[in-house]
Structure 1
Amino acid sequence: MTSLSRGRAAAIGLIAAGSALAAGHLVAGFDDPRASPPVTVGGAFIDLVPPGVKEFAVALFGTADKIALIVGMALVIAALAVAAGLLSRRRVLPGALVIAAFGLVGVAAALTRAEQDVLPALVSLVVGVGVFTWLHQVGRAPVATQFDRRRFLVTSGLVVVGAGIAGVVGTSRQSGLASSQQAVASRLPAVPQPPIPAGADFVADGTPPFLTGNREFYRIDTALVVPQLRAEDWRFRLHGMVDRELDLSFADLLARRLEARTITLACVSNEVGGNLISTANFVGVPVRDLLLEAGVRPGAQQLLTTSSDGYSAGTPVDLLLEPDRGALLAFEMNGEPLPAEHGFPVRVVVPGLYGYVSATKWLVDAEVTTFDRKAYWQQRGWAQQGPIKTQSRIDRPRRGAQVPSGPVTVAGIAWAQHTGIDAVQVRVDGGPWQDAETATEVSRDTWRMWRARLDLPPGEHVVQCRALDRSGVPQTEARQGVLPDGATGLHEIVFRCT
């Protein structure tokens, strides 16, 4: 019995796996982009992974966590494909079973995703097994002649080219977002942006700019691949415990009363001293207006908002109905249509709450209900309520830096959204707390910059910071991780003066 060489066997496995993924991606492009097999499997993995693993990934990779997952999936798929090929150097069955099992994982993942078509996963399964079997037969032909070697190379090459074309066509079928964003940009109403007063940041001393650029704005969500929603096709339904259901198009949204607000958003996964916090100008429709128009019934507790990919967040209704809360269905960010990765065409923005209970992107549905309905992260053990905790961070000097002794400027940010920051203090080497200079306050819904000028002798120093909220209450020193409702503790850095 003819035995495949190791190289040829491994190549057959890789080509079959790549063809399977490309075929499924092509079908998803015509049917449902969310159903592309890599997206489906990755999304199911994110849904099933324990919260502790998710937090470890965010802490390790930050906003690159999805890139890390995609790379990891690619390596695992490649390893399985090579293993399938090597197991079938003599007989096709062992490797075909591995490829089939790989396809069945995609089918199972699709079945776990609500309202998602399983067809792309089934096509991947059939194509993967079919290509593997076919190439195995071609590769097992006698290889004594140049003609047979050429036949295998040509056949494999044609399959690779076909898979590449399928992948490109599948991706192109999912496009159209850029043209929709351009159309929205030309229709954005002229809503005056909130003024940012002079002295709102200390950039020269090491703080971030007061407003975060759209490209620099942090992104943490469960979407492995950014949903592709066109504003022209967007519909939003508000229903549940209301007197009147609302069904709105994007044009309906633009025609309503609009507000512009400067808001600092923070992720519950932000460790003490972390960078998962940003500030932007948002424009949108006040959520309170919509709830009042719909008429919230007695007993309602939360607004369960859902994205196009099935993610959900539960926001307390009583907070959304506060006259000064300022929650928005936002469609504009820093003077532009929302970037795709930040929720285009419409997302929820709620000052004072961590994103896991408020900041639903790619919004399509909102149900007024009770807390008996568990949102995405509540199903995974996170707290029902998510008010942002008072925190502060040192941005300069960096940890481990070496700076000249004498006058040293320490600078950073503090935040307590919807409460406001009253003061910031620092201490050196465990000494007494000293007042820092705070930048001009923009609003209680935004971060506040600070700086302190210290006279430090040569040697190693430990500097800590703490913020005091509008009531004069200092942030807690007790150290707590991000689970279940946000980290606490003091940020400190160690650096050396020379």
Structure 2
Amino acid sequence: MSTDQQARPAPQQPASSARGVRAAGALCGVLAAAVTLGVAELAAALVGRTASPVVVVGGAFVDRTPRWLKEYAIRRFGEDDKAVLVGGILVVLVLVAAALGAVAVRRLRVGYAGVALLGAVGAAAALSRPQAQPLDALPSLAGALAGAAALHVLLVSAVPGRPVDRSGARRAVPGARRVRERLAAGDRRGGLDRRGLLLAGLWSGVVAVAAGGLGRVLLRRSDAAASRAAVRLPRPASPAPPLPAGVEVAADGVAPFVTPNRSFYRVDTALVVPQVRAEDWSLRVHGMVERELRLDFAELLARPLLERDITLTCVSNEVGGPLVGSARWLGAPLADLLAEAGVRSGATQLVARSVDGMTIGTPVSAVMDGRDALLAVGMNGEPLPAQHGFPVRMVVPGLYGYVSACKWLVDLELTTFDAYDAYWVDRGWAEEAPIKVSSRIDTPKAFARVEPGTTVPVAGVAWAQTRGIARVEVRVDGGPWQEARLGASAGDDTWRQWVWPWAVEGGGSHTLQVRATDADGVVQVEERATPFPSGSTGWHSVVVTGG
């Protein structure tokens, strides 16, 4: 056999061609993922669900997140924690989609399997949510089907040609082997149809944007904005007294006594704000009661309503943290409603359920002891904002929100603490969580510069709901405690502002500390403790620099 007749090695695929093919595959994967999300969004709107894959996977992630990670997210990102989570899910999805697309160029079945697995994960997450229904799985499954079809079309468009089998017959082969066989045959142009990839990419982008945009439009048509705008709140049977003169101290930088709705803190597990129309809303009262009650929104508004100034606090608030705010609430007395239902002897817990399945357990004794526990419909003179629970939420003074402040309320069940653990209690938080006496320095801010020889107002807020604040004290660099001047009291259920004039002496750093005492004589605890399991403790301190 001559040298020319000897077997020659198969042409090697150029490294640059291989990289180009993998990059094109990764791009196809990302575009297919965009189609998946767009179609899923549309499917969710068509079936009247908000269970798009990102939302349900995010919700399932929140439910299974370790406590320490939740606390870190709230501490690090505050009210932006949900946006960070959604952004993280999208980043992971893009990376996974790119990897699947790159693999699918050589193993298309693996690409299909990966898309199917993502759809199954989304469907399983949807069905794992509280109050899930079978239709909740449909958006993820429809999105996965559309994504698999898009991946196939994109790869076929990017890598054209029909390889020849050993018998010489032309055969259609999905994108992966098409690329490999063309390159092996010596196609030095890379095996890519850039024009085909561009056209298919443009079409997939149009499908993704159109489907997702239409889904958003359909969801907005069923949201609660128009319903809220149509609500006319009645005048309260028992209006709140006017705020007394001097309720705010004259110090720049102190939180306003009434927190504007747009600035009021929000902490919950809902990645998408539930949309409940007032005309569709109803409340069921059942469990350990003499008679089950049901009422709609019009019936609730027809009841005698109370207007009260109440400060709310989140249990996740760190010492000196921002998760506290005060508002003027309008609502029906919760105790009156339970009295009508007839609470049976032995009922110790009132389990409130949100439309999204969140459960919050409140001690029955706290609702029935005379405090102004409300089924709130108004906040600072307007219907509840959607993010704060429209159309109805609970407000119970003196308890941290996770055991008192159920938003988007639709169900109240009388039971016992032994019989049922609500959402956060099931995750280790305390069953009963009265708010601890607390205080915060709002001004001067940490690391501010203060001039020696000047008088600087040290000011902030203090709270001990249901007991009220009797005294606030400040000290500098561990020296003697100095009593601050309190703003006028608007009631035991609200915070109080305070201010102390500090005559700055000397340069260098100075440490300011504050502590409060409630009307029962209980002094704020010095020892630092994290929020888990029943609220943080410790004196708030701020370090400033003189000179």
TM-score category by the smaller chain? over 0.9
Kept in 2: contact 1:203–1:209 (CA 8 A): no
Cα offsets for 1:361-408 (capped at 9, x unmatched): 011111011112110001111110111000000011111110111312
Matches within 5 A, 1:13-412: 13-116=29-132, 117-142=136-161, 148-175=193-220, 176-184=223-231, 187-191=232-236, 192-202=239-249, 204-323=251-370, 325-371=371-417, 372-406=419-453, 407-412=455-460
Alignment correspondent of 2:484: 436
1:469 aligns with 2:514: no
Q: Secondary structure of the equivalent of 2:50? A: helix
Deviation, 1:203, is 5.4
Kept in 2: contact 1:395–1:412 (CA 8 A): yes
Kept in 1: contact 2:253–2:442 (CA 8 A): yes
Question: CA 1:299 to 1:200, structure 2 compared with 1: closer, same or farther past 3 Å?
Answer: same
Question: CA 1:419 to 1:153, structure 2 compared with 1: closer, same or farther past 3 Å?
Answer: same
Q: Which amino acid aligns with 1:472?
A: G
Question: Quick check: 196-205 or 261-270, which moved more?
Answer: 196-205
Task: Report the Cα distance in structure 1 between the residues aligned to 2:355 and 2:394, rounded to whole angstroms.
Answer: 13
Aligned length: 495
Kept in 2: contact 1:194–1:281 (CA 8 A): no
Cα offsets for 1:51-110 (capped at 9, x unmatched): 111001000001111111111111111111111112223231233332222222112211
Deviation, 1:162, is 1.4
1:491 aligns with 2:537: no
Question: CA 1:282 to 1:145, structure 2 compared with 1: closer, same or farther past 3 Å?
Answer: same
Task: Report the Cα distance in structure 2 between the residues aligned to 1:166 and 1:138, rounded to whole angstroms.
Answer: 22
Question: CA 1:146 to 1:12, structure 2 compared with 1: closer, same or farther past 3 Å?
Answer: closer
Deviation, 1:33, is 2.8
TM-score by length of 2: 0.88
Alignment correspondent of 1:9: 25
Kept in 1: contact 2:456–2:503 (CA 8 A): yes
Matches within 5 A, 1:413-452: 413-452=461-500
Task: Report the Cα distance in structure 1 between the residues aligned to 2:399 and 2:353, rounded to whole angstroms.
Answer: 17
Question: CA 1:91 to 1:58, structure 2 compared with 1: closer, same or farther past 3 Å?
Answer: same
Kept in 2: contact 1:408–1:455 (CA 8 A): yes
Higher gyration radius (CA)? 2
TM-score by length of 1: 0.96
Deviation, 1:149, is 3.3
Consecutive unaligned residues of structure 1, counting only runs of 5 or more, are none
Kept in 2: contact 1:34–1:309 (CA 8 A): no
Percent identity between the aligned chains? 50
Kept in 1: contact 2:367–2:373 (CA 8 A): yes
Kept in 2: contact 1:462–1:495 (CA 8 A): yes
Alignment correspondent of 1:478: 527
Task: Report the Cα distance in structure 1 between the residues aligned to 2:192 and 2:91, rounded to whole angstroms.
Answer: 33
Task: Report the Cα distance in structure 2 between the residues aligned to 1:279 and 1:33, rounded to whole angstroms.
Answer: 34
Q: Which amino acid aligns with 2:124?
A: A
Pairwise CA RMSD: 1.8
Task: Report the Cα distance in structure 1 between the residues aligned to 2:59 and 2:191, rounded to whole angstroms.
Answer: 46
Cα offsets for 1:221-257 (capped at 9, x unmatched): 0001101111111111111100111111111111111
Task: Report the Cα distance in structure 2 between the residues aligned to 1:70 and 1:427, rounded to whole angstroms.
Answer: 43
Deviation, 1:147, is 12
Task: Report the Cα distance in structure 2 between the residues aligned to 1:157 and 1:308, rounded to whole angstroms.
Answer: 39
Q: Secondary structure of the equivalent of 1:493? A: strand
